[in-house]
Amino acid sequence: MTRLKKTIRNLVIIVVLLFLFMKLNGLYFSPVQALHASERDLHFGPSEIVHSFDHGNSRYFLTRYEGMISCSPIKRSLGVFWRYGAGHGVPNNEDRPVFTSYRSEGNNWIVYGMRNDSSIARVDIEVKNAEGEIQVYSSDTFYEDMFYIIWQGENESEVLFSQIFAGLKAYDDAGSVIYDSEIIL
C-alpha cells in the first residue's frame, strides 16, 4: 500500500474514531448544537435562543420554549469542542411582574428571568455574602424581556441559594419599586 493510500485510510479511521469519541463524551463543534442535543435528550425544545454570553469556560444561552425559560450553560471542552450539558426550562409564571430562576456552578451564581411587565426597567437581586452582608446586583439590560444577573459568591457546595437570597426588586424607569419579592422561583 502506498503512503498516500495509508494516509487516506488513517484519516478515514480517524474521522470514524473522532465521531465515536465525540459521541462518547457528548462533544460538539458548536455550542448551539450541544445545547439543542442536550435539550432533545431531555425531551425539551429546540428552544429559541434569545441571547448568549460567555462566562468562565461556558457559554450561557437565554432561551424560551413553550412558555418556559432557561439559561443553560454549555462548557467549552478540549479547546475546540463544546460539551453537552443542561438544557431544561422552567415555566414562566406570568402572574408575577418579573419571573426569575437561578443556577449555580462552583462560585458562579446566575439569576435569570423574564419581565412580564414591560414597564420594568431594572431588576435588583439582594444576596448575602460570606460575612452575612447584603450585596445588591442589578441588571437593566433586557433581551426580548429576558435578563440575567451574574456574580461570584460562595461555592455552591457550601451554601444553598435559599440561604444567601435576601430579596428581589424590580423598578420602573422613574426608579419606583414595581415588584418586591422574597421568592425567587
Partner 1 sequence: MPSPKRQESSSTRESIKKVVKRVHFIPDRYEIEQELAGHIEDSVLFLQEEEGLSQQEAEKAALERMGDPDEIGIALNRQHNPVLGYIWYFSRIVLVLLCVIVVLQFIPVLLLSGWTILFEHPIRDIPKEAYVRHVEPNELIKLDNRRIRITDVVQTKDGTLHVLYSSYNLSFSGLHGWSFNNLGELKDEDGEIYFTGSGRSTAGLYTRGRRSIKDFPFDKEKLILEYDYAGRCFKVEIPLGKVAYND
Q: Residues interacting with partner 1, by CB under 8 A? A: 3-4, 6-7, 10-11, 13-14, 17-18, 20-21, 23-26, 37, 40-45, 65-66, 68, 84, 89
Residue number with CB closer to partner 1 (7 or 119): 7
Task: Give one DSSP letter per residue of 75-109, joined into a string.
Answer: EEETTTEEE------EE--TTSSEEEEEEEETTEE
| Cβ at position 62, least distance to partner 1 in Å | 18
Burial (CB < 10 A; 0-12, 13-18, 19+), residue 137, is: middle
Closest C-alpha among 18, 28, 20 to residue 77: 28
Q: Decide whether 13 or 130 has the Cβ nearer to partner 1.
A: 13
- The nearer residue to partner 1, 79 or 175, going by C-beta atoms, is 79
User: Minimal distance in Å, beta carbon 3 to partner 1?
Assistant: 5
Whichever of 21 and 143 has its CB closer to partner 1, that residue is 21
Q: Which of 142, 144, 109, 108 is nearest to 123 (CA)?
A: 142
Closest distance of CB 144 from partner 1, Å? 20
